[in-house]
Chain A
């Protein structure tokens, strides 16, 4: 594809001719939008640019991240400036890592129809339904692992017919997994203790007291 090819897209219904080699985000900017909402890292790491589109002539609504999806001829586009899903409040240190915690905070999880719409919506290609089901079973490790690459873009929640908010469930599963199943690292805690006892203070003080040439010398000889 060379840089000159143009395609027609419809941004919130308005027709624009834009270069074919642009992402949806860059095409919107090309067409005159200075984005306030709907733009974030621009590299597929933050989930701020959730977008709904449909191809002309098709009834299917599709979803994407605007910074990761290339425009196509006949695309009808709108962005989601905000996802109004509920975020439950909890105190991690008071929870028990079992299935009960998910049913308590996300009772709607029991309504999962296994329709897999969430999985189809995920721009990261995660097995969303599988991690929701894992949480329902209390298999926190699996829920944490399967949801690990989640960007919290919210598209799964927007599409779920049972109004489950999978990305918040994944978040809780990961925090529980780290805190209660993996647990804190002894190695890290021991080092923190050594530092608090002042074990390295003398050596660092000595380095700080050296003139810059001596420090440079020690630096270049370090192994």
Chain B
């Protein structure tokens, strides 16, 4: 590795200010087909049951959808209501917090709202986002250009009516955040500091150093706590409830401290449960939060909601590949936005630093496994260099320390100074591009069930661009809160049942699926082999 770092150092001067040509649409298509993990044969299968039967999804996703529901309807008394509310919000990341705040602003009394969260309030992928949030506010930019970038990035598979909303409501999200006290980075003249991201034609990324998600989430959480909206932490939804019309009327919760169930009836239910990184699709390491086990798509599918675009998984081009303790952790795209270049073992450029994420990932995988020009670590992992010292060379000493605190600190803990040395990277599982289909009102195909954030499908098509997921959380989180409140004012909640669980068991049986698998997973399994071999449940 040392030897290769010298080659990177030798070529650095000559690479300053140079770039690599962007791929044409044709080249991009070819490299994706040959090298992107989504196109690898044998990694997916068509779903055999449910409204999205026939949709091709990764085995790991099919495994949780073609699994028995966790609970046995005979063991749960759904008439024993512990909570009877207007709006139930499942998940307390960016989408959930926005939904709860907005439901209250839309006239729902705070006692009419209940927020439940599997882990700790606010802990989520939303909080881990480093790079930024897109919104077209620049003088040379417009929501129309943003629209075009989102569609092209998503391989034109997006729902245009959702893309239009995402692009048009972006600036208002930034305005809302500022009114709540989020500190965005600004230029000395007071204008927003805008940086570039992969696949965008303008500088459109707003940042809070490289702690963008953390800064936004802690402000929303502080506001949420100030408003005293009721919540339950370490309590997760294990099944939704439906009435005799098949509409969603709340959820069965599981208290993870006491192991008891709690029944919530709700006029509107909002799924904001995030994505599936912890399923480790194709064995990839992940940038995702501990709780990202794809629970929301399972809950929604049990009640018959339509899913979409789950064939497309996002691998972030630059996950850490060294040291071992950081493998899979995110190295923000903003590093490339500020000039860090991916280079191979010989110190050569091989791809434009800001291709769309799918194409950039494919190019790095090809460099390592197709051309054998990657670097191999002591534990056998391959990667390419991300030449971070270029950032200070291009923008002046101190830039990395000022703008990339999180990155500088993360590698510094392992004695790697990213101001002076390049870092080794390889694509890492990052984002669930598809999910539960929604409409512009954040409604799923099942009345009473809303969804927002990463659990949704349709906004980003087959590939999400940097900073658009942060935006998505607040645009559709707020919409979910608003329209859930509107529905709650109009409807009476029906009598809760678990009829859909029995129906799901029938679907499994009719499709001839014989399995001991159960879902949602709720937590990933990382215990040691010896423990798992010896577990007995005595109490």
Residues of A within 8 A of B (CB): 2-3, 21-23, 26, 29-37, 39-46, 48, 68, 70, 87, 89-92, 124-125, 144, 148-152, 171-172, 174-179, 182, 184-189, 191-192, 195, 200, 203-204, 207-208, 212, 215-216, 218-220, 222-223
Contacts and interface: CB of A to CB of B under 8 A. Distances in A.
A90 B105 CA distance: 17
Taking each of B24, B137, B186, which has the highest tally of chain A beta carbons within 10 Å of its own beta carbon? B137
A184 B175 contact: yes
Interface stretch (B37-45, B220-228, B303-311, B465-473): B220-228
B118 to A, nearest CB: 9
Contacts, number: 204
Given A177-B183, A203-B142, A218-B148, A188 B178 contact: yes
Contact of A48 (B123, B148, B209): B123
Contacts of A68: 413
Interface in B147-181: 147-149, 151-152, 156, 160-161, 164, 167-169, 171-172, 174-175, 178-181
Given A34-B523, A40-B123, A182-B183, A187 B226 contact: no
Contact of A188 (B24, B151, B175): B175
A31 B214 CA distance: 31
Given A36-B119, A179-B179, 16 more contacts: A3-B379, A32-B527, A36-B257, A37-B257, A43-B329, A45-B211, A89-B226, A90-B226, A125-B409, A150-B218, A175-B181, A188-B137, A188-B171, A192-B175, A208-B160, A219-B152
5 contacts: A31-B528, A40-B120, A92-B223, A207-B147, A215-B148
A152 B324 CA distance: 27
A176 B181 contact: yes
Contacts of A184: 175, 178-179
Contact of A36 (B192, B215, B324, B523): B523
Contacts of B289: 40-42, 46
A33 B525 CA distance: 10
A179 B211 contact: no
Taking each of B120, B130, B213, B228, which has the highest tally of chain A beta carbons within 10 Å of its own beta carbon? B120
A191 B171 contact: yes
B183 A174 contact: yes
Contact of B180 (A41, A92, A216): A92
A89 to B, nearest CB: 5
A203 B142 CA distance: 10
A188 B133 CA distance: 14
B181 A178 contact: yes
A212 B145 contact: no
A208 B164 contact: yes
Interface size of B as a range: 35 or more
B211 A186 contact: no
A14 to B, nearest CB: 13
Contact of A144 (B119, B175, B183, B226): B183
A204 B119 contact: no
B330 interface: yes
Contacts of A40: 119-120, 123, 289-290
Nearest to A208: B160
Contact of B164 (A33, A48, A149, A204): A204
A149 B137 CA distance: 26
A191 B218 CA distance: 26
A23 B528 contact: no
Contact of A148 (B151, B211, B222): B211
A29 to B, nearest CB: 4
Given A34-B525, A34-B527, A186-B190, A41 B183 contact: no
* Nearest 10 interchain pairs by C-beta: A175-B181, A32-B531, A219-B152, A203-B144, A40-B123, A29-B526, A191-B171, A178-B181, A30-B528, A178-B183
Contacts of A92: 180-181, 223, 226
A150 B405 CA distance: 11
B463 to A, nearest CB: 13
B384 to A, nearest CB: 21
A187 B191 contact: yes
Taking each of A91, A172, A220, which has the highest tally of chain B beta carbons within 10 Å of its own beta carbon? A220
A111 B147 CA distance: 54
A203 to B, nearest CB: 4
Interface string B7-28: 0000000000000000011000
B136 A191 contact: yes
Contacts of B329: 43
Contact of B128 (A30, A41, A70): A41
Given A43-B128, A186-B190, A222-B201, A175 B325 contact: no
Contacts of B175: 184-185, 188-189, 192
B226 A91 contact: yes
Contacts of B228: 89
B76 interface: no
A41 B142 contact: no
Contacts of B209: 148-149
A31 B530 CA distance: 9
